[in-house]
Amino acid sequence: MIQRIQSVYLLLTTLLSALFLTGRILTFKGEKGTDFIMNIKGTWQITETGGNVMIQNQVPVLVVLILIILLSLVTIFFYKRRKLQLKLNIGVIVLIITFIGVLLFYALSIIKKYQASLVPGWKMFIPFLMILSGILTYRGIKKDEELVKSYDRLR
């Protein structure tokens, strides 16, 4: 199971997704020195006194992220049923694209509503690595399926 490269890619997708469960996802710099932080629980405005005020709840981000983690973990254990694993992996890729879309929606709403600018961070690039590992997983599963079909033709 774990010796297959696509299982490693699925595990990588799971680990990259789990990175979003802790810490900041995105940081914004607003006008007049106001800072905004987006994490898994919501968007927070940092006040001058150092306190945090929640300005937006982000339940869809949390739901999609947990679905990505669960589905990619479940997909690892379907290594004997490659066609089902292929379909589940397509579901993981669709969920990752949905995750990126939801993050963009919330980020653009903060930028528009508070005239804030996005501060680049390393977590901005993780969803694209997740898509890359999902695509590599798909290719690995597809290659295994084609190999098994070629052996069936030889018999």
Tell me the pLDDT tens digit for each residue of 15-28: 999 999 988 999 99
Long-range contacts of 119-122 (CB under 8 A, 24+ apart): 119/26, 119/27, 119/28, 119/29, 121/24, 121/26, 121/27
Phi, psi of 116 (to 5 degrees): -100, 160
What's the CA gap between 142 and 134, in Å, rounded? 12
User: What's the Cα-to-Cα distance from 118 to each of 30, 48, 124, rounded to whole Å?
Assistant: 9, 19, 10
Task: State mean pLDDT over 117-140.
Answer: 94
- Residue 155's pLDDT is what? 61
Separation CA 42–CA 20 (nearest Å): 12
Q: What is the total residue count of the chain? A: 155
Count Cβ atoms within 10 A of the Cβ of residue 10 and give its class: 0-12 exposed, 13-18 middle, 19 or more buried: buried
Percentage with pLDDT > 70 across the chain: 97
User: Token pair for residue 63?
Assistant: 């739901």
Confidence of residue 1 (pLDDT cuts 50, 70, 90): very low
Positive or negative CA dihedral for 89, 95, 98, 99?
A: negative
Q: What is the pLDDT of residues 96-124, one digit of tens each?
A: 999 999 999 999 999 999 899 999 999 99
CB distance 98 to 68 below 8 Å:
no
Mean pLDDT along residues 31-47: 87
In the three-class reduction of DSSP (H, G, I as helix; E, B as strand; rest coil), residue 34 is classed as: coil
Domains of the chain, by residue range, sit at 5-22+58-113+121-149
- φ, ψ dihedrals at 70, nearest 5°: -65, -45
46-94 pLDDT per residue, tens: 877 777 888 989 899 999 999 999 999 999 999 889 999 999 999 999 9
| pLDDT (mean) for 126-152 | 91
Kindly indicate the confidence band of residue 151, based on its pLDDT and cuts at 50, 70 and 90. Answer: confident
